[in-house]
Amino acid sequence: MKKVGEKEEEEKKAFLKFSPELFEILSKLQEVELEDVDLDVGDLEIWLQPSTVAAPPKVVAPPTVAVPKKVKPSTIIEVDFVPPIETYPGRIVEVQLGATKSAGGTRGKSVIIGGERSPAYYLFENPTHHPPAITLDVFDMKIPLAKAVKMHVEEVVEDPVAWAKLAVDKFGAEMITLHLVSTDPLLKDTTPTEAAKTVENVLQAVDVPLVVGGCGDPQKDFKVFQKVAGVAAGERVLLSSITLDMDIEKSAKIAQKHGHVALAFTSMDLNHARELNRKLYEFLPQEQIIMDTTTAALGYGLDYAFTVMERARLSALMGDQELQHPLSSGTTNAWGAREAWMKMAPEWGPRELRGPIWETVTALTLLLAGVDIFMMMHPAAVKTAKEVISKLTTGAVRGKPEQITDWVTMKI
Amino acid sequence: MSEKVGIKELSPIDVYMQLPRTNCKKCGLDNCMAFATKLVNREIALELCKPLVEEKQYAKAYEKLWGMLKPPVKEVTVGSGEKAVKIGGKLVMYRHELMLHNPTAIAIDVTDEMPEEELVLRVKKTEGFSYVYIGRELSLNMVALRSTSNDPEKFKTAVKKVVENTQLPLILCSFHPEVLEAGLMTAPKAHPLLYAATKDNWRDMAELAIMYDCPLVVFAPNDIKLLRSMTKTLIEYGVKDLVLDAGTFLSEGLSDTLANLTMLRRSACRKGDDLLGFPLIGTPITAWLEHSDVPEINMWNEAYLASMLITRYADILIMHSAEGWVLLPLTILRQNIYTDPRKPVAVEAGVKTFGNPSENSPVLMTTNFALTFYTVASDIESAGVDCFLVVVDTEGLAVDSSVAGRKLTADKVAETLKEMKVEEKVKHRKLIIPGKAARLSGEIQELSGWEVLVGPRDSSEIPKFLQEKWQ
């Protein structure tokens, strides 16, 4: 057996050789010393509906029934296969993000999500209407980041405009999420006017559709969105997010007046999600609402996040109109999992790989629940998610049997 | 039988009508209707109805009930002894319908051309894989032995080496029946999974499966019609336990892979198609068929491919990457998907002791949501702090949600302190509560008579907090 140190050395060498493809962005292994990050794991804590606990079912013993002796077939008995297609009364609404010049904005192009008629990737029923979008996180102030993420954005963490440009130019972001965390009264308490200025600058620096994130304080977010919506009028920005504890009427009216889209955020409770959407309908058309039912990290509540989304999507397709909205996921929450950012014993590998695969698996699990827009962070996770989406949508190619029949004898 | 109702649509009345309806209470329940309801909810075993099993007059009804209640996806056992693994046995497609059973079994591959030392090491490493997550040990389940040599003699030797070194169930992989036979002769009682019957070798494979009483994989890449024809044929031939493989494709055909798995599972669960009602196998190892300059890229691809297969109905996976960073997210994802979605994961309430606390040691408080508890516990442990931790029963809710949902109240905290006799454990009367329960501090102080210190919002800061604020 190789010594642990040797193995790590080898891994390092291997990474440093990486081609400029996927792993170029994972290859900065020079900085591996432990640096704790300060992600708020608490934000990922989840609300569970306690309910009756069922005992595990037991396997039923087979009754003994005499089976008549059959003649053994000598050739394959051909039978038919009918794909188990179902039809659904409901359909997810299409939502357009970002407005081009002809639509009253200045974006280079817009992104449309939603429109599904079948559960996620039931491709034997219907193709996916629009590929899910991925929007990259940009923060308006220096925040604690996991090492594996920080190494890719180190030079720009104090400059949201440069950060947005890096995300678009280097990482190929089709959308940007500008998180105005500095507006938090407990942090810098940046004024709405200043925050709006940052939004304006980012809008000028990049021409992709924009998501604007608040700080999570319902009163402050409202004030910030009020200003932001004005300076970004006509750009069809996604305002992230409107919650049940905000003044929904005023918030929705801002979005409506300036032609933006509302991200309706609730925490893992479909009744709350329906309630919020119902309230928004009074002021906003359906095509201007996206839902976020909360994303928890792999290992830290992903199961609940997954099931809430899967249920939302299935109910929507079965005709529940209050849930017929594209789903958004704050996939970056994956980094709240300790296994993603912490230095662990060597057998668990370098966190420069563990972190991004954590975000990737969190994203792909929720992709299969039906998510339409992912807010993500690590370039490798983003690249992989994009490739998978392409393989399942526009770039889908049939699998040829002869490609895989040799796997048993393959030499690795 | 082909259009039987889905498990979810099964009504207790339908089941009740087949029961003896004597309300004999031998099953432990008050009446047959209660028994029927539990049967439909999969909370009780049919054979607990003694008259049904024992009395001749009910034989027909027993058979009928068994047919009604059997899972649409057959349960298949691989291996023997303590480490035998059950796969399949699925009742539903979605985890919110009923809890999913038999978590996806993960097999790691070895080959019959590996140097002996390497093979043994790999097998041992597979068996030794262990990670404790929410108080449970995550592990790997099987070893897949591939014949890369196509040489029966070499395969024989390799099988021998593997069974000498592990109790884990085996998957014997070769498309050559004579190779598999050589392996089976070496370990006739191992009850391995045989991989695989194809349209060309199916008769010989069927003979082997029957002779050695082994489950058999049916391989028909991207051709469900052929797959279905083959299961029909093999069942007629007399093979009982089948596992289905419609092929695992990565770069070209990932969309087919997901669509095939979904069609297979839906045909079984929703259409009652007995010919497709078998466990599904995925082979993320096919990611290694694609060229890449460094192995890490194949590992990465295999990892994410496997994760999608775990979410999309695979009952068993064959993998090549044995790296911790590949397997950790997969085993945790599997644990997540296979928990009971109706049941909050909770630990027992009470006072836990860390290190060797004295009567001057700090007393902290948290909730009994398992994830919260284990996170706090591991932070305290890694800091090596001597203290008491009062775990309040919040019905398995985390701190912020239990405060919001009134499951964590000052009343409850005061009551727990009293009930657990915490005042007998320490001289002081200071309680450190989670930062997220800050708003309860005044009331707790009032009701319990303890002085309340509001601790950090994240438990990782407990050591720092204690250093600064304690004594």
> Per residue in A357-396, pLDDT tens?
999 999 999 999 999 999 999 999 999 999 999 999 988 9
pLDDT tens track for B70-126 = 899 999 999 999 999 999 999 889 998 888 889 999 999 999 999 999 999 999 999
pLDDT at A70 over 70: no
A50, A78, A364: residue with CB nearest B229: A78
Residue of B39, B255, B331 for testing the chain A interface, max A β-carbons within 10 Å:
B255
B91, B263, B459: residue with CB nearest A124: B263
Residue of A318, A407, A410, A411 for testing the chain B interface, max B β-carbons within 10 Å:
A407
Contact across the interface for A63 and B199, Cβ inside 8 Å: no
Q: How far apart are CA B396 and CA B345, in angstroms?
A: 6
Chain A residues inside the 8 Å CB shell of B333: 298-299, 302, 361, 365
Contact across the interface for B458 and A40, Cβ inside 8 Å: yes
Instruction: Assess A401–B contact: CB distance below 8 Å, yes or no.
Output: yes
Does an H or E element contain B197, and which? Answer: strand B193-197
Chain B residues inside the 8 Å CB shell of A72: 236-238
For residue B266, the SS3 value is: helix
Closest Cα partner for A261 from A242, A282, A274?
A: A242
Distance of CA A49 to the CA centre of its chain: 24
pLDDT tens track for A201-252 = 999 999 999 999 998 888 999 999 999 999 999 999 999 999 998 999 999 9
- The whole-angstrom distance between A1's CA and the closest CA on chain B is 8
pLDDT tens track for A77-87 = 999 999 999 99
A40, A364, A397: residue with CB nearest B252: A397
Instruction: Assess A68–B contact: CB distance below 8 Å, yes or no.
Output: no
Q: How far apart are CA A147 and CA A378, in angstroms?
A: 11
pLDDT tens track for A97-148 = 999 999 999 999 999 999 999 999 999 999 888 999 999 999 999 998 999 9
pLDDT at residue number A32: 37
Average pLDDT, chain A: 87
Read off the pLDDT of each residue in B229-255 and give the average, rounded to a whole number: 97
Give the whole-number percent of chain A exceeding pLDDT 70.
83
For residue B408, the SS3 value is: coil
pLDDT at residue number B405: 67
Q: What is the dihedral of CA B65, B67, B71, B77, to 10 degrees?
A: 110
User: Which CATH fold would you assign to the domain A96-294+307-327?
Assistant: TIM Barrel (3.20.20)
Judged by average pLDDT, the poorest of B9-18, B150-159, B445-454 is B9-18
Q: Are B40 and B12 in contact (CB under 8 A)?
A: yes
Most confident of A16-20, B171-175, B338-342, B442-446: B171-175
Average pLDDT, chain B: 92
Q: Return the beta strands (E) in B324-450 as ranges.
A: 350-354, 363-367, 387-392, 430-433
- The whole-angstrom distance between A275's CA and the closest CA on chain B is 18
User: Which CATH fold would you assign to the domain B75-337?
Assistant: TIM Barrel (3.20.20)
Span B7-69: which CATH code?
A: 1.10.15.40
Residue of B48, B117, B254, B292 for testing the chain A interface, max A β-carbons within 10 Å:
B254
pTM here is: 0.85
pLDDT tens track for B208-219 = 999 999 999 999
A48, A55, A77: residue with CB nearest B397: A48
Contact across the interface for A392 and B150, Cβ inside 8 Å: no
Contact across the interface for A392 and B258, Cβ inside 8 Å: yes
pLDDT at residue number A292: 96
- The whole-angstrom distance between A48's CA and the closest CA on chain B is 6
Chain B residues inside the 8 Å CB shell of A354: 325, 328-329
Nearest CA in chain B to A362: B333
Q: Are B270 and A408 in contact (CB under 8 A)?
A: no
pLDDT at residue number B3: 38
Instruction: Assess A3–B contact: CB distance below 8 Å, yes or no.
Output: no
Contact across the interface for B320 and A412, Cβ inside 8 Å: yes
Closest Cα partner for B351 from B373, B372, B371?
A: B373
Closest Cα partner for A155 from A21, A343, A28?
A: A28
Q: Cis peptide leading into A241, omega within 30 of 0?
A: yes
Instruction: Assess A406–B contact: CB distance below 8 Å, yes or no.
Output: yes
Total residues belonging to chain B: 471
Give the whole-number percent of chain B exceeding pLDDT 90.
76
Q: How far apart are CA A221 and CA A215, in angstroms?
A: 6
User: Which CATH fold would you assign to the domain B350-469?
Assistant: Rossmann fold (3.40.50)
Domain edges within chain A: 96-294+307-327
Read off the pLDDT of each residue in B311-333 and give the average, rounded to a whole number: 98
Q: Cis peptide leading into B196, omega within 30 of 0?
A: yes
Alpha helices for B312-405 (secondary structure H): 324-337, 370-383, 399-404
| Per-residue confidence band for A187, with pLDDT thresholds at 50, 70 and 90 | confident
Chain A residues inside the 8 Å CB shell of B258: 121, 123, 368, 392
The residues with which B223 forms a beta bridge, in sequence order, are none
ipTM exceeds 0.90: no
Does an H or E element contain B295, and which? Answer: helix B295-311
Total residues belonging to chain A: 412
Order the strands of the B451-454 sheet from edge to edge: B350-354, B387-392, B363-367, B430-433, B451-454
Nearest CA in chain A to B39: A57
Domain edges within chain B: 7-69, 75-337, 350-469
Nearest CA in chain A to B461: A38
Chain B residues inside the 8 Å CB shell of A303: 95, 336-337, 339, 341
Nearest CA in chain A to B195: A408
End-to-end CA separation in angstroms for chain A: 19
Q: How far apart are CA A45 and CA B397, in angstroms?
A: 9
Residue of A404, A405, A406 for testing the chain B interface, max B β-carbons within 10 Å:
A404
Contact across the interface for A63 and B248, Cβ inside 8 Å: no
A50, A65, A78: residue with CB nearest B396: A50
pLDDT tens track for B269-290 = 989 899 999 999 999 999 999 9
10 Å CB burial of residue B191 (0-12, 13-18, 19+) is buried
Chain A residues inside the 8 Å CB shell of B267: 84
Residue of A28, A45, A245, A314 for testing the chain B interface, max B β-carbons within 10 Å:
A45
